[in-house]
Structure 1
Amino acid sequence: MNVDWVIPCRYVEVHDNLGSMIGAGIDTFWVPELPAGLQVLCAVRLTATADELTAGTVHQMRNVVTDPAGNVVSDVGGEFEIGTENPRREWLNGIVLPSAVQWEATVTGTYQLEHIVDADSKSIPLHVVEGQPDEAEE
């Protein structure tokens, strides 16, 4: 199973394997003070062969967040399976799913979110800034 893309957003829902996103691409979080609890929703697209989608095939998933110094601040994972009755055998199957990630930001800077499924992963930067957005313009 491959992680095709991960898009951070304010809201995501998936119906019939189609994702609807609001605030897609958000990557900067303004917080009034630190430490601050943060949450980001992600739309995740996986690709898989028909064999990887058979009932009973278990996959491993983890979300790891590291702070600007590279220290792990959140590492949450679990198992899942996607059992479809008629996966396409002639090409890769695409699966879209929502994912929520929470962590506590203790310093300003760029955090990294790595979304891992089986042996594949994608990383995205998430910036944390203390203050208000209009303060940056002064």
Structure 2
Amino acid sequence: MNVDWVIPCRYVEVHDNLGSMIGAGIDTFWIPELPAPLQVMLAVRLSATGEELAPGIQHVLRTLVTDPHGEVVFEAQMEFEADAESSQAEWLNSMVMPTVVQFEASEAGTYQLEQSVDGNSQSIPLHVVEGAPE
């Protein structure tokens, strides 16, 4: 299974494998005072063969966030089953997943968020600024 893209957004929902996003691509977060919790919604597109999406096949979703110094501030892992009934065995199939990540932003700077499934990953920067937007 491949992670095609990870898009941070203000809101995402998925129905019938179609994602609707608000504020897609947000990468800078203005926080009045640090440290503070930061919650980010993500739209994640995965692609896989029909066999990988068959019922009973477990996949491992892992999320890792590092601070501006490369120290891990959040790490989570879970197993899921895609069970995509409409997958085509001869096609490369895709699915969109909404996810949410919350971590403690302890200082201003660029954090890295890595989303991986079965060892394939994509990373995105999340910029944290203390104060009001300019």
Aligning the two structures, in what range does the TM-score lie when normalised by the shorter sequence?
A: over 0.9
Give the number of equivalent residue pairs.
134
Structure 2 stretches lacking a partner, 5+ long: none
Deviating runs (4+, > 6 A) in structure 1? none
- What is the alpha-carbon distance in structure 2 between the residues aligned to residue 83 and residue 130 of structure 1? 42
Query: Secondary structure at the residue paired with 2:52?
Result: helix
Residue in structure 2 matched with residue 96 of structure 1 by the alignment: 96
Residue in structure 2 matched with residue 69 of structure 1 by the alignment: 69
Q: Residue 52 of structure 2 aligns to which amino acid in structure 1? A: E
TM-score (norm 1): 0.95
Query: Secondary structure at the residue paired with 2:91?
Result: coil
Select the structure that is richer in helix: 1
TM-score (norm 2): 0.98
- What is the alpha-carbon distance in structure 1 between the residues aligned to residue 56 and residue 113 of structure 2? 28
Q: Which residues in structure 2 correspond to 1:1-138 (within 5 Å)?
A: 1-134=1-134
What whole-Å deviation, never above 9, does each CA across 1:24-46 have from its counterpart, x for those lacking one?
Answer: 00000101111010000000000
Alpha-carbon deviation of 1:86? 3.7
Select the structure that is richer in strand: 2
Structure 1 stretches lacking a partner, 5+ long: none
Q: What CA RMSD, in Å, does the superposition of the two structures yield over aligned residues?
A: 0.7
- What is the alpha-carbon distance in structure 2 between the residues aligned to residue 24 and residue 50 of structure 1? 29
- What is the alpha-carbon distance in structure 2 between the residues aligned to residue 121 and residue 45 of structure 1? 11
What whole-Å deviation, never above 9, does each CA across 1:11-62 have from its counterpart, x for those lacking one?
Answer: 0000000000000000001011110100000000000001101111000001
What whole-Å deviation, never above 9, does each CA across 1:74-128 have from its counterpart, x for those lacking one?
Answer: 0011000011234112220010010100100001100000001001000000000
Q: Residue 69 of structure 1 aligns to which amino acid in structure 2? A: H
